[in-house]
């Protein structure tokens, strides 16, 4: 259907050559009406194609995002992914931006891939009729050469696109951190430092973008050269039968119409092949986004499968270690919601023990403890500090208890008036 309409629209210029050379007013009027009708049908079909692509994009984005959400919010995958496991950069960007771009690119690809086989077949037949087998073989050979060159030029672009998306996410995340922590950053007068760090992320992003653009330049030169040489090739193919004397009996008007018709057929077939080559550029983008989303899905599936059976055990283990096993009995298990405030119901000592349980669970490289054991006995303090050391957490403690000394190697004393002293503590 659409091929036939496009073909008829394409033949209109050649028919105008014929009518104008004959100076036939009646034929001209009919041709104009016919042309307007064809153009309306063609524009409607093209608009419908774009509309269906947009519907596909929305439908695919909905399905893929909802599927990712169902794993992301399954149990505590979102927490493990963002806090405990740093293997995946910017999960939020992958779920929002990368999915959006992937679905957009795939929806434009879908209609092209669906229509291309019919278009290529139809115009190959028309080209065979217009320019003979030499015309078809020349155009097909031209397409094969163009595809090989394109493949060579596109190779390095995919991995660089993935890296650029990662840096894009890092840059956006930095700004989000500043937005969320604006108050504390202002309190610490950290504007200059954050300015420098944010600029550094921008520089990394832009330098990767420049490298990507340099590689894409050669790809664009290749694709555009291929486009323009194609139109010259079509005229060369039409010149062969003309110079061979096949059309010697035609009037100049008839010859112009024939050249216009044959040029359109050859140019359109070359255009179909060029679009297929352009598709490979879109495929490289799709491959980049698919890689990032696929990586996220794998890690989330692994966390959902393995992590949380172990995690519940770890929570129970650390609650026991800090002496809060009875708390689970009181509230009725890990997943029971409570309608009271923890600060009102738990004693200061229990709150401090709960903080240590959280610290043991997260196991950071170092922790700053500000009067963290002030409401506990010295014996309980000793047990908790010992557990921190066994888990390999380096501790920086602020406190007034002399018992803290035996758990540390160095003491920094602030003497007031800008004075301070650093003392090495004897090992216990």
The CATH number for 39's domain is 1.20.1560.10
Q: Which 3 state secondary structure label does DSSP give 414?
A: strand
Distances (CA, A) of 205 to 44, 49, 95: 42, 36, 20
The reply to whether 296 and 318 lie within a common domain is no
Last residue of a domain, one of 306, 339, 373: 306
Could you tell me the two tokens for 147?
Answer: 């595809």
Q: Which 3 state secondary structure label does DSSP give 332?
A: coil
User: What CA–CA distance (Å, rounded) separates 142 from 321?
Assistant: 73
The reply to whether 320 and 288 lie within a common domain is no
Range of the domain at 316: 312-424
Instruction: Indicate the number of domains in the chain.
Output: 2
User: What CA–CA distance (Å, rounded) separates 89 from 391?
Assistant: 26
The reply to whether 319 and 177 lie within a common domain is no
How high does pLDDT run on average in the chain? Answer: 85
The reply to whether 24 and 39 lie within a common domain is yes
| Rounded CA Rg of the chain | 35
Q: What is the CATH number of the domain that holds 353?
A: 3.40.50.300
The reply to whether 19 and 122 lie within a common domain is yes
Question: For the residues 308-324, what does the mean pLDDT come to?
Answer: 81
Asked if 266 and 128 touch (Cβ cutoff 8 Å), the reply is no
The reply to whether 167 and 276 lie within a common domain is yes
Question: For the residues 306-334, what does the mean pLDDT come to?
Answer: 80
Of residues 94 and 128, which shows the higher confidence score? 94
Rounded to 5 degrees, φ, ψ at 45 are: -60, -40
Give the model's confidence band at 58: pLDDT under 50 very low, under 70 low, under 90 confident, else very high. Answer: very high
Last residue of a domain, one of 250, 285, 306: 306
The reply to whether 342 and 278 lie within a common domain is no
Last residue of a domain, one of 279, 306, 333: 306
The reply to whether 63 and 103 lie within a common domain is yes
Give the model's confidence band at 428: pLDDT under 50 very low, under 70 low, under 90 confident, else very high. Answer: very low
The reply to whether 272 and 316 lie within a common domain is no
Which residues are CB-neighbours of 34 under 8 A, at least 6 positions away?
Answer: 12
Q: Which 3 state secondary structure label does DSSP give 338?
A: coil
Instruction: Give the per-residue pLDDT at 3.
Output: 52
Q: Using the 8-state DSSP alphabet, how is residue 419 labeled?
A: E
Per-residue pLDDT tens digits for 181-205: 999 999 989 999 999 999 999 999 9
Instruction: Give the per-residue pLDDT at 8.
Output: 65
Distances (CA, A) of 328 to 1, 16, 28, 280, 335: 70, 87, 90, 58, 10
């Amino acid at each position: 259907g659409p091929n036939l309409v496009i073909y008829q629209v394409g033949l209109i210029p050649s028919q105008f050559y014929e009518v104008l050379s004959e100076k036939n007013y009646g034929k001209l009027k009919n041709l104009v009406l016919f042309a307007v009708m064809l153009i309306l049908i063609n524009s409607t079909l093209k608009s419908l194609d774009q509309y269906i692509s947009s519907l596909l994009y929305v439908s695919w984005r909905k399905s893929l995002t909802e599927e990712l959400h169902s794993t992301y919010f399954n149990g505590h995958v979102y927490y493990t992914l963002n806090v405990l496991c740093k293997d995946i950069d910017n999960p939020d960007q992958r779920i929002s931006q990368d999915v959006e771009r992937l679905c957009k690119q795939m929806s434009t690809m879908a209609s092209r891939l669906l229509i291309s086989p019919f278009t290529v077949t139809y115009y190959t037949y028309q080209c065979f009729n217009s320019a003979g087998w030499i015309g078809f073989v020349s155009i097909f050979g031209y397409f094969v050469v163009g595809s090989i060159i394109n493949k060579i030029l596109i190779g390095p672009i995919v991995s660089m696109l993935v890296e650029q998306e990662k840096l894009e996410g890092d840059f956006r995340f930095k700004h989000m951190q500043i937005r969320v922590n604006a108050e504390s950053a202002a309190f610490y007068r950290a504007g200059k430092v954050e300015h420098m760090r944010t600029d550094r992320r921008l520089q990394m992003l832009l330098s990767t973008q420049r490298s990507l653009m340099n590689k894409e330049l050669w790809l664009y030169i290749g694709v555009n050269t291929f486009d323009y040489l194609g139109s010259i090739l079509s005229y060369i193919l039409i010149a062969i039968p003309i110079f061979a004397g096949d059309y010697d009996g035609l009037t100049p008007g008839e010859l112009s119409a024939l050249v216009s018709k044959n040029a359109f057929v050859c140019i359109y077939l070359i255009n179909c092949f060029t679009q297929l080559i352009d598709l490979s550029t879109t495929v490289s983008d799709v491959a980049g986004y698919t890689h990032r989303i696929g990586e996220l899905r794998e890690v989330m599936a692994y966390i959902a499968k393995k992590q949380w059976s172990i995690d519940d055990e770890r929570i129970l283990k650390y609650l026991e270690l800090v002496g809060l096993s009875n708390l689970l009995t009181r509230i009725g298990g890990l997943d029971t919601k409570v309608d009271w405030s923890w600060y009102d119901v738990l004693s200061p000592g229990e709150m401090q023990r709960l903080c240590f349980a959280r610290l043991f669970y997260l196991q950071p490289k170092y922790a700053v403890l500000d009067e963290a054991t002030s409401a506990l006995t010295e014996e309980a303090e000793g047990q908790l500090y010992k557990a921190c050391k066994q888990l390999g957490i380096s501790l920086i403690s602020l406190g007034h208890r002399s018992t803290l000394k035996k758990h540390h190697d160095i003491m920094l004393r602030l003497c007031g008036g800008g004075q301070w002293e650093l003392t090495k503590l004897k090992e216990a």
